[in-house]
Amino acid sequence: MSGRKVQVFTEKEESFVKLLIGIGIPRTVSKVLVYLANTPEATSRDIERGADLRQPEVSIALQYLKERDWIVTRLEKTESIGRPQNVVRLSRPIDEIADAIRVDKENEINQKLTLARRLREYI
């Protein structure tokens, strides 16, 4: 693991993060998603450093991604004595995840429009 490099977001990746935040994806999830989209796999520590997040933020973001089946994890033994590390990667290409986000947001909008139309019934 010591050979891993810290990835720093480019301007384009920062814009991608801002776009995800703008459509309602939590900031920490957005950063982790963009980080994983640009690396084959990473440990939580890699994500912390590369996405500039704290460990609890990474854990919560990974849980969010796991609940949606957007990531897969595997255990990897460390070079030193201790517990194995979880190595994370996206379970599908980022464009498929973007499509899933789009569909989810369209469904949210349609539900809100339906509620807004029903509001007229009460007036």
DSSP string, 73-95: EEEE--SSSSPPEEEEEESS-HH
The boundaries of the domain holding residue 29 are: 11-92
Helix (H, G, I), strand (E, B) or coil at 106: helix
In-domain check, residue 25: yes
In-domain check, residue 59: yes
Site of tokens 């920062």: 14
What's phi and psi for 117, nearest 5 deg?
A: -65, -40
CA–CA separation, 112 and 118 (whole Å): 10
| CATH at residue 71 | 1.10.10.10
In-domain check, residue 5: no
Q: What is the pLDDT of residue 44?
A: 92
Q: State pLDDT tens for residues 44-81.
A: 999 999 999 999 999 999 999 999 999 999 988 877 77
Q: State pLDDT tens for residues 81-116.
A: 778 888 999 999 999 999 999 999 999 999 999 999
CA–CA separation, 103 and 46 (whole Å): 30
In-domain check, residue 73: yes
Q: Where are the alpha helices (DSSP H) in the chain?
A: 11-22, 27-37, 44-51, 55-67, 94-119
Structure tokens belonging to residue 29: 């999830």
CA–CA separation, 98 and 112 (whole Å): 21
